[in-house]
A = this chain, B = another copy of it.
Amino acid sequence: MKKNLTGDAKPAEWPVNPNTSKAAKRTAAQPDTTNAVPSGTVSRVIRRSKEQAPRHAASAAVAPVPGSALADAETGAATRRKPHRRRPTGRVTIADVAKHANVSPMTVSRALKNPAQVLPEARARVEAAVVALGYVPSHAARTLASARSRVVGVLVPSLTNAVFVETLAGIQDCLGAAGYQFLIGNTSYSSAKQTELLSMYLTHAPDGFLVTGIDESDAIRERLAAARVPVVHMYDLSRDPSEWTVGFSQQNAGYAITQYLLERGYRRPGFIAAQLDPRTMRRRTGFRRALRDAGLDPDLEVLTPEPSSVGLGTRLLVEMLERAPDCDAIFCNNDDLALGALFECQRLGIRVPDQLAIAGFNDLPSSAWSTPSITTVTTPRYQIGFQAAQMLLQILEGKTPKKNRIDLGFTLTPRQSA
């Protein structure tokens, strides 16, 4: 049986490496020592099932499906179609396991999914068969039969930004443990790209979505709604009470760091930002509000739609100082911009924070270590991922989360640069 299965296995259809195919040989030659069938009983059962007609075929013979090969065979019709034999996939199926364990496929299915439903002996035989045959469940078949994919679509605007990588880690830690797979999509801050990714993902029938930054596009909202699947929004707090969201107030965070600068005595703070995604714009709103509340005019801004980077930070600092030589503090929309600004100050001989204060946003891993270290806003991005995933999980399990919106807050982290 074992031999047979191995022999039937799908031949390598992809080109064999021009050089000696050592790996392939290794596999083929390798005896299945760990998987040896232990008892004679089991192998006899297997042999019998190979020699007899399959059980299911019997009932078909009693009431043949019209036009089937079997029906024709019985009437002796010469006009029968050739049976459409597919080339064997070579995959070990639940049926193989069932035969090997001398149970029905259903029992195998249960033993795998809900072991408690199956008698210990049967379960043990199934488990042994799984190991012996190297059975790997087919995700496609499971999805098709159960209408649940155990896949979650995750849409983030960037993977270059460490912030979202940490969010992914949080998602992974929560949903991965629950047996979910992810389709990770990098939307590159582009709404067109996001729409495209969404379409691809929809074919995979994800059980849910975890998304960032879809704020403004109606097309995307509609597509998500059409998927009829729960969606949790990350990174901000929705104004819409019908949406599930986990995040914090970007605007309040922008307000807080600006207020901090003002409290420290800086009177002419500027704001530099790249990307200009909705979250950035809300931090900017916070910056402007704080200045106005202090009776100041929020006129110092250098904004660019380019992607954020350390290099860009060096350039934006220069632009800011050219525009406003009296600028005494800069709120950088992200720590990478802040680091670039700091580097540029070092190059120009500007002392930080004495001559110019620099504040960042996000608290990236390196910000605590620069000289001077960077004053910033610490954001709970791992937690955002983890709790958003947890919220989705609850929804998928039919429990209603207590709140539709979780505010994880942020922390002001004063260091040396401001």
Q: Mark A residues whose CB is within 8 Å of B.
A: 9-10, 12-15, 17-24, 26-27, 30, 59, 62-63, 65-67, 89-91, 134, 136-144, 147, 149, 159-160, 162, 165-166, 168-169, 172, 181-184, 186, 199-200, 202-205, 208, 221-222, 225-226, 228-230, 240-244, 309-311, 313-314, 336, 339-340, 343-344, 346-347, 365-366, 368-371, 395-396, 398-401, 404
In the complex, what's the smallest C-beta–C-beta distance from A172 to chain B, in angstroms? Answer: 7
Knowing A343-B370, A343-B371, the reply to whether A18 touches B400 (Cβ < 8 A) is yes
Chain B residues with CB below 8 A from A159, complex form: 159, 165, 168-169
Cα(A311)–Cα(B10), bound, Å: 50
Cα(A310)–Cα(B364), bound, Å: 10
Q: 26 A-B contacts, Cβ less than 8 Å apart?
A: A14-B395, A14-B396, A17-B244, A18-B404, A19-B241, A19-B404, A21-B242, A22-B242, A23-B240, A65-B66, A136-B203, A139-B140, A139-B204, A140-B140, A140-B144, A141-B144, A169-B186, A172-B186, A182-B183, A184-B184, A310-B366, A336-B366, A339-B366, A340-B369, A343-B369, A343-B371
Cα(A223)–Cα(B7), bound, Å: 18
Chain B residues with CB below 8 A from A336, complex form: 366
Chain B residues with CB below 8 A from A142, complex form: 203
Chain B residues with CB below 8 A from A204, complex form: 139-140, 181
